[in-house]
Structure formats: structure tokens, C-alpha cells
């Protein structure tokens, strides 16, 4: 009887502590935050806003197509994450690459870049001010680094990926290293989709 009471107490305590907040592999925003609705232009020259993906999970990252190390790896991780998802859920997730380099990243170059990884991935960019607002809203930073010529610059940038849930709330984010764990990130996405 005493044991039963102890078990019931423990169960109540666990429910109280952890019942509301599910354990995720990614870093969780708790409470979740209303996701900034960026308005950009996609790789087909069409307007793209975060709000149009309401009802889906959106996983996005900032970068630029001339980025030789982080960005190709990020897109490869996106591919691996998509593959790790149950087939039935893949259409409920939108992967998005936001270019911080509107000067060089035309819709055509964005198209070549993302379609190399997956035909369903989207890429978008916007005006300097739109990009600044989007980056600031997700606590991301970036700056141009001069190269040998004017066209030869690189862009230092935050390398996290951001997960927006189907209700349009920013729920999780991933460091570059964590994003490489495709199975675990896919597990988070499944959990987020099931919770809706």
C-alpha cells in the first residue's frame, strides 16, 4: 500500500515536471515563439513567405551558394534528414535554404543549388533589409568578408537550422554539428508532427 502511494506520487511528480515539455534532440524554445513571417523570393522568382507553409514543419538555414563548406554540408544534412523520415510524413516537411547573398544568388543560381540536393527543397532570398529582419528575428548574424576581388567575397554567418512547427511557432533549433545526426533530427520532426 505504501509502495503504491509512492509510485502514484512519483508518477504525479514526473507528470508535473516533464509531462508538458517533450524531450527533443534539438534545442527547444520553451515556451515556443511565434515564428517571424519572412517574405522573400524563391528560386522560381515567386514570392515566398513562411506563413504559406502553415500546417507543415519547416526546417530552414541561412547561407549562400558560393559557400564551400558549411552550406553544401547543411543541404546534404537536409537530404539525409528527409530520407530518415517515414515516407508518409515527407510531404509534411518543407526544407528551405535562405541566401544571405542577394547580389550573386539570382533565382537561377538558387535553383541550380537546391535542386542538386532535392527537387522538393526550396531556396529564397530577398532585399538586404528583408534579410536583415529575417536574420535578426532568428538571432542569426552575418557579414560580408572581402575577397581578392569585388566578386570574390565570402559571408561569415550563423550556421544553425531552425524548426518551425505546423502552427507557425518556432519550436527548435540545431547547431551545425547536431544537424548531422539525421535520424535524431527526423525523430524530432516526427514528434512535432504528432503533437499537432
User: Which residues are near another protein by CB under 8 A?
Assistant: 65-66, 68-70, 72-73, 76, 79-80, 109, 112-113, 115-117, 139-143, 145, 154-160, 176-177
- Is residue 171 within a helix (H) or strand (E), and if so which, with residue range? strand 169-174
Phi, psi of 147 (to 5 degrees): -105, -165
| CA 97/CA 121 separation, integer angstroms | 8
Between 56 and 144, whose beta carbon lies closer to another protein?
144
Are 92 and 54 in contact, with CB atoms under 8 Å apart?
Answer: no
Between 24 and 178, whose beta carbon lies closer to another protein?
178
Sequence-separated (6 or more) residues with CB below 8 Å from residue 173: 26, 27, 29, 138, 160, 161, 162, 163
DSSP single-letter state for residue 9: H
Closest contact distance (angstroms) between CB of 84 and another protein is 12
Closest contact distance (angstroms) between CB of 141 and another protein is 5
Asked if omega into 76 is within 30° of 0 (cis), the reply is no
Between 39 and 111, whose beta carbon lies closer to another protein?
111
Between 135 and 192, whose beta carbon lies closer to another protein?
135
CA pseudo-torsion sign 143, 121, 109, 181: positive
Between 53 and 170, whose beta carbon lies closer to another protein?
170
Between 24 and 121, whose beta carbon lies closer to another protein?
121
CA distances for 98 relative to 22, 121, 183, angstroms: 28, 11, 23
Closest contact distance (angstroms) between CB of 4 and another protein is 49
Closest contact distance (angstroms) between CB of 129 and another protein is 20
Closest contact distance (angstroms) between CB of 105 and another protein is 10
Closest contact distance (angstroms) between CB of 34 and another protein is 22
Q: Which of 88, 95, 86, 94 is nearest to 183 (CA)?
A: 86
Amino acid at each position: 500500500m505504501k509502495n503504491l502511494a509512492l509510485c502514484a506520487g512519483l508518477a504525479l511528480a514526473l507528470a508535473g515536471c516533464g509531462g508538458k515539455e517533450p524531450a527533443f534532440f534539438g534545442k527547444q524554445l520553451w515556451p515556443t515563439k511565434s515564428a517571424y513571417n519572412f517574405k522573400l523570393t524563391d528560386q522560381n522568382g515567386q514570392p515566398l513567405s513562411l506563413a504559406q507553409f502553415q500546417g507543415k514543419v519547416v526546417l530552414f538555414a541561412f547561407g549562400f551558394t558560393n559557400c564551400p563548406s558549411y552550406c553544401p554540408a547543411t543541404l546534404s544534412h537536409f537530404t539525409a534528414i528527409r530520407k530518415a523520415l517515414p515516407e508518409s510524413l515527407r510531404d509534411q516537411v518543407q526544407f528551405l535554404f535562405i541566401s544571405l547573398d542577394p547580389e550573386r544568388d539570382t533565382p537561377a543560381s538558387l535553383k541550380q543549388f537546391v535542386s542538386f540536393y532535392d527537387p522538393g527543397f526550396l531556396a529564397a532570398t530577398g532585399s538586404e533589409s528583408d534579410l536583415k529582419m529575417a536574420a535578426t528575428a532568428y538571432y542569426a548574424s552575418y557579414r560580408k568578408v572581402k575577397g581578392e576581388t569585388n566578386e570574390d567575397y565570402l559571408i561569415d554567418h550563423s550556421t544553425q537550422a531552425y524548426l518551425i512547427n505546423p502552427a507557425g511557432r518556432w519550436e527548435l533549433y540545431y547547431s551545425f554539428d547536431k544537424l548531422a545526426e539525421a535520424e535524431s533530427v527526423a525523430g524530432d520532426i516526427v514528434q512535432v508532427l504528432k503533437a499537432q
